[in-house]
């Protein structure tokens, strides 16, 4: 009978699952390892959180914007630097 996979092997398998388009069936030994290993379960939760976060960001991209005051401050500081030439539209 084969033994349980090591934590390193489990981490590799869980990471690979993130790259697969379709969920892959988990082996019994992987499930048993996750039942017994708190750290690997935590790693699995972290991966799931990252995946959900990336999906949310991709679905709702937020364009960073600066206030007009902040843009003016940046322009002023850049102009003080030697040799700075404003790009067109500044």
Has this prediction a pTM greater than 0.85?
no
* pLDDT tens-place string over residues 42-63: 999 999 999 998 888 888 776 6
Q: Burial level of 60, CB count in 10 A (0-12/13-18/19+)?
A: exposed
Residue 2: pLDDT band with limits 50, 70, 90: low
- Report the run of H or E that residue 46 belongs to, with start and end: helix 38-59
pLDDT (average), residues 19-27: 75
Rounded Cα distance between 72 and 37, Å, is 54
What does the domain layout of the chain look like in residue ranges? 7-80
């Amino acid at each position: 009978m084969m033994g349980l996979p090591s934590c390193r092997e489990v981490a590799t398998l869980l990471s690979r699952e993130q790259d697969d388009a379709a969920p892959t069936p988990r082996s019994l030994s992987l499930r048993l390892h996750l039942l017994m290993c708190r750290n690997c379960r935590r790693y699995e939760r972290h991966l799931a959180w990252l995946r959900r976060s990336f999906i949310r960001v991709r679905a709702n991209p937020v364009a960073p914007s600066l206030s007009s005051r902040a843009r003016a401050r940046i322009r002023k500081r850049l102009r003080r630097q030697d040799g700075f030439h404003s790009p067109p539209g500044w």
